[in-house]
Amino acid sequence: MIKIDSKEDILVLKESFEIEFKKATGKNGKGKLPNDFLESYSAMANTNGGNIFLGIEENGDTINLVGIKNPEEVIKELFDTLNNPQKINLNILKNEHIQILEIEQKNIIWIKIPKATRKQKPIYKGQNPLIGTFVRQGEGDYKCKEECVKRFLAEQIEDSRDSKVLKNFDFDDIELSTFYAYRNIFKSHKPDHPFNALSDLEFLKSIGGYKKDRESGEIGLTIAGLLMFGKQNSIEEALPYYMVDYQERPRAVTEKRWIDRIYPDGTWSGNIFDFYRKVIAKLYENLKIPFSLKEAQREEDTPIHQAIREALINALVHTDYSERLSILIVKRPDMFGFRNPGLMRIPIEIAIKGGESDCRNRNIQKMFMLIGYAEKAGSGIPKIYQSWSKYNWAKPLLYEKNEHHPQTLLELRMINLLDEETIQKLKTIFSSSFNKLNEKEIMILATAYIEEEINHKRVLEILDIHPSDVSNILKQLAKDGFLQKDGVGKGTTYKLATEGITDTTKGITTSTEGITDTTWGVRLYKREEIPSDILQEIEKIISPISNKQRVKKEVMQTIIIQICKYGYFSPELLSNLLHRNKDTIKDYISELVAKKFLFPYFSSPNSPKQVYTSKRDREE
């Protein structure tokens, strides 16, 4: 339970939670529900929840307590509005979500908006979800695109997205070698099960791969049956965005170069069961933990083998196969990475705790469980966390992204945060200053080094301390030159405050603020290399928004164009100059490039060294 007694307590929340401040004084100064409240309510409920404070005016990094003279009347107006179906489709607030704070003799209304459940979404303003649904992105509330709204509605209606019968898809669309491999494993795992005596079609029906739709009368393969056992062409015909991808990468760095890859290239079936069997063998390969593998089924499992298997199956059974994004599994010398399209159906903290499950593809999950590959529902994520802790490795990192395509990511690093090698690297970077740090501060720096950045929420996961203590530690580490702050509010991240550190072990040159390389024949800036006269001009350009947390997209894009007339700038440098979230800046840049307002230096849009200018006459 978070306790708020001061302005400082409120500011602490900004780096961990979605926060919105609204003056809400009304024309008479006594208090009124703001006109844009419903947009923020919809956006927060449809995303990850959040907090709205009425009676507070934001001024850059500080806040002014204005106060609400009649808070009870404003709260009554709030509930009257939320219970009016003409204004909002659903009220998910209860009395316990509203609190009147008294700070510095001012009444502040604290509204804690919970994340709406799958069955409640979308929360929308007015009576039309297609025009009244909002989501939270970066620092603002944005209208949902039609595709996003339809996804909300589909998730609301369909408990299991893979149970739908596919019209005109039948047993001919099955890859028989995959199907018979599954049947053999099933028989080996459950030799006395009555399903073993069934015909192929009846067996497929019994495990959820083939059925009759009782409403339409349609009979055929389910999405689960096709995905699990289907032929590649048939899967792509039914699910045109389907893509599975495994990549083994040679170095412990973020890069796209791979030395081994598995994807549907026409040499194998392309279905998810064969993908699982191929990939699990690759993931187990060269693990420095004894194991025995037979038909990709566990024998003499160690906790690490179980965790890796759970993570792979978890990605396959929770994927939104209608999304325009691939399932991506990455193996590196230092970690395993798992990405699946679609956000989690339950909050991350509940998934980690365990005991509650809302699987998106329950028939696929059932198929894996029937052959002993998957654990009971709701136990997979806790098992992964428990297994990793037994080896004292860095805590698993489970998170979501929703900037371009909704996706869930899990990173499993095989690194002890306080091992001798990591400590030695930090000592090399910070020299004698490192010796002044305590264990908590070292844990934070080690995590920032290994994971390349850290935020308030991640610190709370790895250290059992109060949120205000986290803020104070991060602030002090930044002040003392150990960390560099990037972004504002909940989007705030911290990186090691180093310039161009070359790590021969990792094979990467770290730079958070632009690039200079004379071999390119063009001037590319780090902040400290910007000539003072140009930096002064840039600061003048930025000054109108420097104290504002929320800025209209059009205004921000205009400022980016004006800055980029002085040379080539990386998204990281622009993010640093503007004090805005890097992913948000990248979104703005993508639009400006498409409209020919910005010009990239490299022809490859995904080049890690990509920089941009607004000058059309760029030197070649």
Above 60 in pLDDT, residue 526?
yes
Alpha-carbon distances, residue 562 vs 524, 559, 566, 576 (angstroms):
16, 5, 8, 16
The CA-based angle 128-134-139, given to 5 degrees, is: 165
pLDDT at position 508, please? 25
Closest CA to 320 of 504, 155, 501: 155
The pLDDT of 59-79, averaged and rounded, is 88
Q: pLDDT averaged over the chain?
A: 85
CATH number at residue 483: 1.10.10.10
Number of domains in the chain: 5
Chosen domain end from 210, 238, 266: 238
Q: Is 105 among the domain residues?
A: yes
Above 70 in pLDDT, residue 578?
yes
**345/205 same-domain check:** no
Chosen domain end from 443, 468, 496: 496
Above 80 in pLDDT, residue 349?
yes
Above 90 in pLDDT, residue 192?
yes
Q: Is 508 among the domain residues?
A: no
489-515 core/surface letters (b: 16 or more CB in 10 A; e: else): bbbbbbbbbbeeeebeebebebbbbbb
Q: Is 618 among the domain residues?
A: no
Q: Are 314 and 380 in contact (CB under 8 A)?
A: yes
Q: Is 620 among the domain residues?
A: no
Residues of the domain holding 294: 244-413
pLDDT at position 516, please? 28
Q: Is 80 among the domain residues?
A: yes
Q: Is 288 among the domain residues?
A: yes
The CA-based angle 375-381-383, given to 5 degrees, is: 65
Lowest-confidence range among 346-350, 440-444, 506-510, 559-563? 506-510
Q: What is the DSSP string of 365-409?
A: HHHHHHTTSS-STT-HHHHHHHHHHHTTPPPPEEEEE-SSS-EEE
**444/306 same-domain check:** no
pLDDT at position 263, please? 93
**Winning range, highest mean pLDDT, from 475-489, 499-513, 581-595:** 581-595
**250/234 same-domain check:** no
pLDDT at position 132, please? 94
pLDDT tens per residue, range 216-237: 888 999 999 999 999 999 999 9
Above 80 in pLDDT, residue 44?
yes
Residue whose structure tokens are 């006459």 = 617
pLDDT tens per residue, range 425-463: 888 888 888 888 988 889 899 888 888 888 888 888 788
Above 50 in pLDDT, residue 337?
yes
pLDDT category at 498 given cuts 50, 70, 90 is low
CATH number at residue 44: 3.30.950.30
Q: Are 612 and 577 in contact (CB under 8 A)?
A: no
If DSSP codes are grouped into helix, strand and coil, which group holds residue 97? helix
Above 70 in pLDDT, residue 499?
no
